[in-house]
Structure 1
Amino acid sequence: MSFSLETRDLTIRFGGHVAVDAVSCAFRPGTLTAIVGPNGAGKTTYFNLISGQLKASSGRVFVGGDDITSLPAPERTKRGLGRAFQLTNLFPNLSVMENIRLAIQARRGMGLNLWSIWSNHRALIAEAEAILERIALTARRDAPAASLPHGDQRKLEVGILIALEPTVFMFDEPTAGMSVDEVPVILDLIREIKRDMTKTILLVEHKMDVVRELSDRIIVLHNGKLAADGEPAEVIASPVVQQAYLGMAAEDEEEAEAAR
């Protein structure tokens, strides 16, 4: 099986600080990889290098075997990289429906003009409505995105990502700032995407219960370096990872396991 995404010695320096330090990882279709580590470990910076928000100091990024290192973020999206941001990335003054519809238009190469595609309007609306139902926002279809509470904005952002139909889904703390009642909708959407074995999912997440449940693999970043990479049980059970990178003592984890 080929890799859908690969980084080779990916590095970025800010002055004398190396934020991501020669990280080499390959990601296969049909797997969800959780990227964990303490604050400042380089997780979001690594995402930004992959998706093109930051330019690497050195190293390469490959999608489907093609070198995309020199491509800007929009071109990387066209190559199949889909990024959901830690902070919502929406068209705030447009409605929920229009946000989804524009993402569908962009995927189909129709551009972002709201009014120039009347012949395709009905099909676009039908596809957008199906996505709104999946993300539980049908009742808010006509509301401006800016008027949505934070949890609904996160759901809309995932809906936009689904509308783009990427090969690689990148979620940066998708449940951050959401209430306990709102989290299951996001997790169910990620589970649904995960069932498609042609898709690759990368997940930055601090909540270890979410990581345990969803991940097929965990990689740990620390001071910008790749510190661990393996199956979830193996990585989580490592005393070094628990103490230094996940902020828990080994004995606490043993007690937690015993209590389950």
Structure 2
Amino acid sequence: MSEPSLVTRDLTIRFGGHVAVNQVSCAFHPGELTVIVGPNGAGKTTYFNLISGQLMPTSGSVSKGATDITRMSPSTRVHHGVGRAFQLTNLFPQLTVLENIRLAVQARSADSWRIFRPAASFTALTAKAEYYLEKTRLTKLAHQLASALPHGDQRKLEVALLMAMEPDIYMFDEPTAGMSLDHAPDVLELIAGIKADRSKTVLLVEHKMEVVRALADRIIVLHNGELLADGAPGTVMASDVVRDVYLGGATEETA
């Protein structure tokens, strides 16, 4: 197996007397899609927040390759190749679809600081943005405001923004939350396409078992902030302990 692209070591966070994530150690590898599951309040999104930098740990560490990113801000982690899509869409609502993606491309480019240069002069940036529009089948919506898009297309736009940042690590927090049955397959197909690139590492928080079965190479189960199980999907989901804790517990969750 290749060297890990992302490692958490004894990752822990306390809120007062409550330990939300407790000494979670995991290594994630390129070419692998890991789904993180667990009952309500298990610590899944908190663990995600620690990896992406929205929260700072009480103890433990996060490494991207050989680089310790534990105390880096979320924006700095993005420049180190850690990209995240949130459970709720995180867009610029009063900009068009194309403008949203062009900003993401610009943020990744060497010209990211030149914010007062006319947008029309960024020919190469616009061309690259159009490439991601095409990859995510949003070309026909290029000049619509993000706020005017149906929820399903907003989720596709968020995936396009993440792809435009060209991360090595892709993190998705319940990517099909709130989506209709018609739109969910489009987003899952985009994630499957990212997974097919064996240089990328994909982490996914999800509770819909049909999504887990369709995409997972590996499943991690968190319970009360601790790592309960880690392994191949069939092995993990066949475990009596996992079935009691996860399948026998709440399945509609937001934690």
Same fold (TM over 0.5): yes
Counterpart of 2:81 in structure 1: which amino acid?
A: G
Counterparts of 1:166-245 in structure 2 under 5 Å? Answer: 166-245=167-246
Give how far 1:93 is off: 1.2
Q: Does the 8 Å CA contact 1:96/1:141 hold for their aligned counterparts?
A: yes
Is structure 2 residue 28 aligned with structure 1 residue 17?
A: no
* Partner Cα separation in structure 2 for residue 107 and residue 159 of structure 1: 13
Give how far 1:88 is off: 0.9
* Partner Cα separation in structure 2 for residue 113 and residue 141 of structure 1: 23
Give how far 1:159 is off: 0.3
1:71 aligned partner:
72
1:2 match: secondary structure: coil
* Partner Cα separation in structure 2 for residue 143 and residue 12 of structure 1: 41
Tell me, which stretches of 5 or more residues in structure 1 are unaligned?
249-260
Is structure 2 residue 27 aligned with structure 1 residue 26?
A: yes
1:181/1:128 CA distance change after superposition, 3 Å: same
* Partner Cα separation in structure 1 for residue 229 and residue 235 of structure 2: 10
- Find runs of 4+ consecutive structure 1 residues off by over 4 angstroms: 112-115, 117-120
2:55 match: secondary structure: coil
* Partner Cα separation in structure 1 for residue 119 and residue 35 of structure 2: 42
Give how far 1:113 is off: 5.5
1:117/1:197 CA distance change after superposition, 3 Å: farther
RMSD: 1.5
How many residues matched?
248
Deviations 1:190-229 (A, max 9, x none): 1111111110000001111111111110000000000000
1:97 match: secondary structure: helix
2:187 match: secondary structure: helix
Counterpart of 1:80 in structure 2: which amino acid?
A: G
Q: Does the 8 Å CA contact 1:170/1:201 hold for their aligned counterparts?
A: yes
2:35 match: secondary structure: strand
Deviations 1:219-260 (A, max 9, x none): 000000000000000001112212211337xxxxxxxxxxxx
Deviations 1:135-177 (A, max 9, x none): 2222211111122121111111000000000000000000111
Give how far 1:114 is off: 5.7
1:176 match: secondary structure: coil
Q: Does the 8 Å CA contact 1:3/1:65 hold for their aligned counterparts?
A: no
2:253 aligned partner:
none
* Partner Cα separation in structure 2 for residue 96 and residue 15 of structure 1: 42
Q: TM-score, normalised by structure 1?
A: 0.92
Q: TM-score, normalised by structure 2?
A: 0.93
* Partner Cα separation in structure 2 for residue 28 and residue 227 of structure 1: 20
Tell me, which stretches of 5 or more residues in structure 2 are unaligned?
250-255
Counterpart of 2:176 in structure 1: which amino acid?
A: T
Counterparts of 1:43-192 in structure 2 under 5 Å? Answer: 43-111=44-112, 116=117, 121-192=122-193
